[in-house]
């Protein structure tokens, strides 16, 4: 980013080089390698199977809650479920889940045209990954089930 430095004057390089930091991002390269090795040790197929099992478990349990509607039910989909619950805003559900230690997204997810196709403006959207557990799915479902029954969280 610097062409020349003296005690009297600094001359900057031409753009875009003058906006680059002087030290390469070594830490992120080392971290990326460690992450890739970790994923390789576990195996992509094992990760996919775990995420699929969590999604199936959550879908099955959520499907039993009266007033809950799952949005998007493709058989082969990523480990994400979108839903709405009669009588509750998606923000209210998201806040209750957050207070129970379950992180979800609630809102329009920058997907208004798709959501409107299903007749909704917002959804609650949990997503599942390698680090999630079936116990967390159970805790999420328990909170939503209590909300559906009108139990104050």
- Which residue numbers are catalytic? 110
> Computed from CA positions of residues 97, 152, 134, 63, in that sequence, does the dihedral angle turn out positive or negative?
negative
Q: Is 76 exposed, middle or buried (0-12, 13-18, 19+ CB in 10 A)?
A: exposed
Residue 97 contacts by C-beta under 8 Å, 6 or more apart in sequence?
A: 103, 104, 124, 126, 140, 143, 144
The DSSP element (H or E) to which 119 belongs, if any, is none
The DSSP element (H or E) to which 149 belongs, if any, is none
């Amino acid at each position: 980013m610097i062409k020349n430095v003296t005690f009297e004057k600094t001359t900057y390089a031409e753009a875009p080089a003058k906006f680059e930091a002087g030290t390469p991002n070594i830490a992120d390269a080392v971290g990326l390698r460690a992450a890739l090795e970790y994923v390789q040790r576990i195996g992509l197929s094992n990760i996919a199977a775990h995420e699929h099992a969590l999604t199936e478990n959550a879908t099955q349990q959520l499907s039993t809650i009266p007033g809950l509607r799952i949005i998007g039910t493709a058989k082969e989909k990523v480990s994400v479920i979108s839903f709405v619950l009669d009588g509750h805003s998606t923000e209210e559900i998201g806040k209750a889940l957050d207070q129970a230690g379950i992180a979800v997204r609630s809102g329009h997810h920058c997907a208004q045209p798709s959501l409107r196709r299903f007749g909704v403006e917002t959804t609650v959207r949990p997503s599942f990954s390698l680090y999630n557990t079936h116990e967390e799915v159970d805790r999420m479902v328990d909170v939503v089930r209590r909300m559906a029954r009108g139990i104050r969280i």
